[in-house]
A and B are shown apart, each in its own frame.
Chain A
Amino acid sequence: MRRRRLSTVLRTAAAVLLTMLFLFPIYWLFMISFKTAEEIFAFPPKWWPSRIGLDSYAVLFKDGDATTVANSLVIAGASTLIAMFLGTLAAYSLARWRTGGEHLANWIISQRMVPPIAVVFPIFLLYVFLGWVDTRVGLILLYTAFNLPYVIWMMRGYILDIPRALEEAALVDGLTPWQVLWQVVLPMSRAGLFATAIFTFVFAWNEFIFALVLTRTEVTTYTVQVTHYFGGQSNFWAKISAMSVLGTLPIFIVVGFLQKYLVRGISMGAVKG
Chain B
Amino acid sequence: MIQAFCGRMAAAFTRALVPALAILSMAFSAPALAQSAAQRAVDAAKKICSGKTITIVWEAGLQSLDPLNFSGPKWEQLTGCKIKVVEVPTAEMFTKIMQEFRAGTGAYDALNVIPAWMPDLVQAGALENLESYVDKYSYRAELQTIAPTYRDNQMTVNGKIYGFPDDGDVFILYYRKDIFARPELQKAFKAKFNDELAPPKTWKQFDDIGAFLTEALKGEGIYGASFFREPPYTMFMFQERFRVEGGKFFDAGTMKATVNSPVGVKVLTEMRNENRFMPPGVEKFGFVENLAVFLDGKSAMTISWPPYGRFAAGYLADEKALSWVPKSKIANKVGYALPPGGHPELAAGFALSVASTSKQKEQAYLFIQWLNSEEISLQRVQLPYTLRDPFRNSHYVSQEYMARWPDAKDYLAALGEGAKTGLLDLSLIQTDKYEEAIRQGISKLWAGDDPKTILDDIARQWDEITQRVGLDKQKAVYNSWAAKSGAYPK
Please determine if A and B sit in direct contact within the complex, based on CB atoms under 8 angstroms apart.
yes
B84 lies within 8 A of chain A by Cβ = yes
A85 interfacial by beta-carbon distance below 8 Å: no
Q: B158 near A: Cβ within 8 Å?
A: no
Min CB gap B82→A, angstroms: 12
Could you list 10 further interchain pairs (A-B, Cβ under 8 angstroms) beyond the known A227-B92, A232-B59? A41-B289, A41-B293, A213-B96, A216-B107, A217-B85, A227-B60, A227-B89, A232-B232, A233-B63, A233-B387
Q: Which B residues are closer than 8 A to A by beta carbons?
A: 55, 59-63, 84-87, 89-92, 96, 99, 102-105, 107, 232, 286-289, 292-293, 296, 298, 305, 307, 320, 323-327, 348, 387
Distance between Cα atoms of A238 and B61 in the complex (Å): 13
Interface residues of A (CB under 8 A from B): 36-38, 40-41, 43, 55, 59, 121, 124-125, 128, 133, 212-213, 216-217, 224, 227-239
Residues of A within 8 A of B62 (CB): 231, 233-234, 236
Can you list 5 A-B contacts with CB-CB less than 8 angstroms, sorted by A residue number?
Answer: A38-B292, A227-B89, A228-B89, A231-B63, A235-B287
Specify which chain B residues have a CB less than 8 angstroms from the CB of A43 in the assembled complex.
Answer: 293, 296, 298
In the complex, the chain B residue whose C-beta lies closest to that of A213 is: B99
Q: Roughly how many angstroms separate A231 CA and B88 CA in the complex, as a whole number?
A: 10
Contact partners of B307 in chain A: CB under 8 A: 233
> Given A37-B292, A43-B296, are A124 and B287 also a contact pair (CB < 8 Å)?
no
Q: Is the CB of B288 within 8 A of A41?
A: yes
Quick check: A38 and B296 within 8 Å, CB to CB?
Answer: yes
Closest B residue to A121 by beta carbon equals B99
C-alpha gap A237/B324 in the complex (Å): 7
B105 near A128: Cβ-Cβ < 8 Å: yes
> Which are the 4 A-B pairs with shortest beta-carbon distances?
A41-B292, A228-B60, A231-B61, A235-B288
A38, A55, A125, A216: which contacts B326 (Cβ < 8 A)? A38
**Contact A228–B86 (Cβ < 8 Å):** no
Q: How far is the CB of B359 from chain A (nearest CB, A)?
A: 15
Complex contact B324–A37 (CB within 8 A): yes
Are A59 and B320 closer than 8 Å at their CB atoms?
Answer: yes
Distance from A175 Cβ to chain B, minimum over Cβ atoms (Å): 51
> For the complex, what is the distance from the CA of A125 to the CA of B99, rounded to whole Å?
9
A231 touches B298 (CB 8 A): no
Q: Provide the residues of chain B in CB contact with A124, threshold 8 Å.
A: 99, 103
Shortest C-beta distance, B330 to chain A (Å), equals 13
Q: Smallest Cβ distance from A187 to chain B, in angstroms? A: 45
B136 to chain A, nearest CB (A): 30
CA distance A161 to B307 in the complex (A): 62
Query: Are the C-beta atoms of A133 and B61 separated by less than 8 Å?
Result: no
Contacts of A236 in B (CB 8 A): 61-62, 324
CA gap between A117 and B84 in the complex, in Å: 28
Cα distance, A213 to B293, chains bound together (Å): 36
Which B residues are in CB contact (< 8 Å) with A216? 55, 86, 107
**Residues of chain B within 8 A of A41, CB atoms compared:** 288-289, 292-293, 296, 326
Identify the interface centre among B292, B298, B305: most chain A CB within 10 Å of its CB: B292
Q: A125: which of B63, B84, B103, B292 is its contact (CB, 8 Å)?
A: B103
A217 contacts B84, C-beta separation under 8 Å: yes
Which of chain B's residues has its CB closest to A129's CB?
B103
| Chain B residue at smallest Cβ distance from A39 | B326
Bound state CA distance, A55 and B324, in angstroms?
Answer: 12
C-alpha gap A213/B288 in the complex (Å):
27
Taking CB atoms, residues of chain B closer than 8 Å to A125 are: 103
Q: Could you say which residues of chain B place their CB within 8 Å of the CB of A228?
A: 60-61, 87, 89
Point out which of A37, A224, A227, A230 has the most chain B C-beta atoms below 10 A from its C-beta. Answer: A37
Please, which residues of chain A bring their CB within 8 A of the CB of B61?
A: 228-231, 234, 236
CB-nearest residue of chain B to A232: B90
Q: Name the residue of chain A whose CB is nearest to the CB of B325.
A: A37
Separation of A217 and B348 alpha carbons in the complex (Å): 25
The answer for the CA separation of A236 and B103 in the assembled complex, in Å, is 32
Q: Which of B89, B103, B105, B324 contacts A238 (CB 8 A)?
A: B324
Does B286 contact A231, Cβ atoms closer than 8 Å? no
CA distance A16 to B232 in the complex (A): 41
Let me know if B96 and A233 touch, CB within 8 A: no
Q: Which residues of A contact B104 (CB under 8 A)?
A: 128
Highest count of chain A CB atoms <10 Å: which of B293, B326, B348, B387: B326
Q: How far is the CA of A40 from the CA of B326 in the complex (A)?
A: 9
When distances are taken between beta carbons in the complex, the residues of chain A under 8 Å from B59 are 231-232
* Complex alpha-carbon distance, A217 and B102, angstroms: 19
CB distance from A213 to the nearest CB of B (A): 6
* Chain A residue nearest in CB terms to B387: A233
Contact A234 B324 (CB under 8 A): yes
Which residues of B are found within 8 Å of A38, using beta-carbon distances? 292, 296, 326-327
User: In the complex, A59→B102 CA distance in Å?
Assistant: 37
Nearest Cβ on chain B to A81's Cβ, whole angstroms: 30
> Which chain B residues lie closer than 8 Å to A212 at the CB level?
92, 96
Q: Please, how many angstroms separate the alpha-carbon atoms of A234 and B104 in the complex?
A: 32
Chain A, Cβ-Cβ closest to B291? A41
Q: Which residues of A contact B286 (CB under 8 A)?
A: 235
Q: How far is the CA of A125 from the CA of B102 in the complex (A)?
A: 9
Q: Assess whether B326 is in contact with A37, with CB atoms less than 8 Å apart.
A: yes
Known: A41-B288, A227-B89, A236-B324. A133 touches B105 (CB 8 A): yes
CA distance A169 to B411 in the complex (A): 86
